[in-house]
Chain A
Amino acid sequence: MKPLLLLPLLLFLALGALLFTGMDENRDPSLVPSPLISKPAPDFDLPLLGNPSERLTRSDLLGQQYFLNVWGSWCPGCQTEHNFIAALADRGPLPVYGLNWKDDATQALAWLEHFGNPYAANLYDPEGDVAIDFGVYGAPETFLINADGTIAAKFIGPLYEQAYQETFAHLVQDPVGK
């Protein structure tokens, strides 16, 4: 048999393999991988939601590992994940900070009043400038930021237990002295 005759079969198998891997339901091609993973988190200096006279900066949060959860009162996915975010903040060991994105302060505070406020503090970013620096393109998004200020991991979409285990759990370090 001529080896060239096998070529169509090989091409077919290769195409089949390609399409088969494309069917992987855990792989969502609309998720854009962030170039910021393992890089220093962008600098930020924002007022606190509900307390605009106080500000929180990137350097304020250095020295501890923490979650940064991007949310807005206009965002249905944020309601979906809110119970999980509350549980995550509750069980520790890491604090969860909020980045209130492109929101109105009154509505955001009413939202927290209604659904509960699990956040250690909320950064208020109505213009979305800091969110752009973080490469945010849709809420909710959750970042894990290391004590040295590097971004350890990012999850896009409403967070849930299994996703937490796969994306974050192995990167969480127990804070010293606990």
Chain B
Amino acid sequence: MTTLLRIGRWPALLLALALTAPVLAIDPQDFADAEEEARYWTLIEEIRCLVCQNQNLADSPAGLAKDLRDQVLELMRSGRSDAEIKTYLTDRYGDYVLYNPPMKPATWGLWFGPLVLVAIGAAGMVLHLRRRQRHPAELAADPDQEALDRELDAVEAEREGH
């Protein structure tokens, strides 16, 4: 029983450690309630740190990231909506600060480009398959194929003859 418990503890402990690591990486905040905390985390996970550009604000230990995190919390507490907070940031740093780029003419390529590529690929495949469906009849009429068939028949007839 004790052995089982001991084995059972390790994965739980490791899991707990793995979960705390990213939280420990940044400064703690005093949250009013769990709802505020959840909103804060959702927001800063969508905002790019401009110093270490492959990290979001939630992960980055950079000084500016801390300032921006504090700013986000301050704006939340002053009653701004998520959209207003994001506008506050894009007014200063541009769309690049958002991990989820907004949909507008300049980003249509980004949003719809992959769909267009898939559509082109699908159209190409449909065309190709249709052509192949029409093909079997043409294949039989292929003179090369007829010659091959005749040769094959001849070889088989010869083998049977022996």
Contacts and interface: CB of A to CB of B under 8 A. Distances in A.
A128 B50 CA distance: 15
B50 A138 contact: yes
Contacts of B68: 132
Nearest to A4: B124
A137 B49 CA distance: 9
B63 A133 contact: no
Contacts of B90: 35
Nearest to B120: A7
A20 to B, nearest CB: 19
Nearest to A128: B67
Interface stretch (B8-16, B91-99, B132-140): B91-99
Given A137-B50, A138-B51, A128 B64 contact: yes
Contact of A102 (B50, B63, B97): B63
Interface residues of A, number: 17
Main secondary structure of the interface of B (DSSP, over half): helix
A132 B72 CA distance: 12
B93 A32 contact: yes
Given A34-B94, A35-B91, A137 B51 contact: yes
A32 B67 contact: no
B35 to A, nearest CB: 26
B71 interface: yes
Contacts of A36: 91-92
Contacts of B96: 32-33
Nearest to A39: B91
Contacts of B93: 32, 34-35, 135, 137
A127 B50 CA distance: 17
A32 B92 contact: no
A178 B67 CA distance: 42
Interface of A: 4, 30, 32-36, 42, 102, 127-128, 132-135, 137-138
23 contacts: A32-B53, A32-B94, A32-B96, A32-B97, A33-B96, A35-B90, A35-B91, A35-B93, A35-B94, A36-B91, A36-B92, A42-B92, A102-B63, A102-B67, A128-B64, A128-B67, A132-B67, A132-B71, A133-B92, A137-B51, A137-B93, A138-B50, A138-B51
Interface of B: 50-51, 53, 63-64, 67-68, 71, 90-94, 96-97, 124
Q: 7 tightest CB-CB pairs across the interface, nearest first?
A: A137-B50, A135-B92, A35-B94, A32-B96, A128-B67, A135-B93, A137-B64
Given A32-B97, A35-B90, A102-B63, 17 more contacts: A32-B50, A32-B93, A34-B93, A34-B94, A36-B91, A42-B92, A102-B67, A127-B67, A132-B71, A133-B92, A134-B92, A135-B92, A135-B93, A135-B94, A137-B51, A137-B93, A138-B51
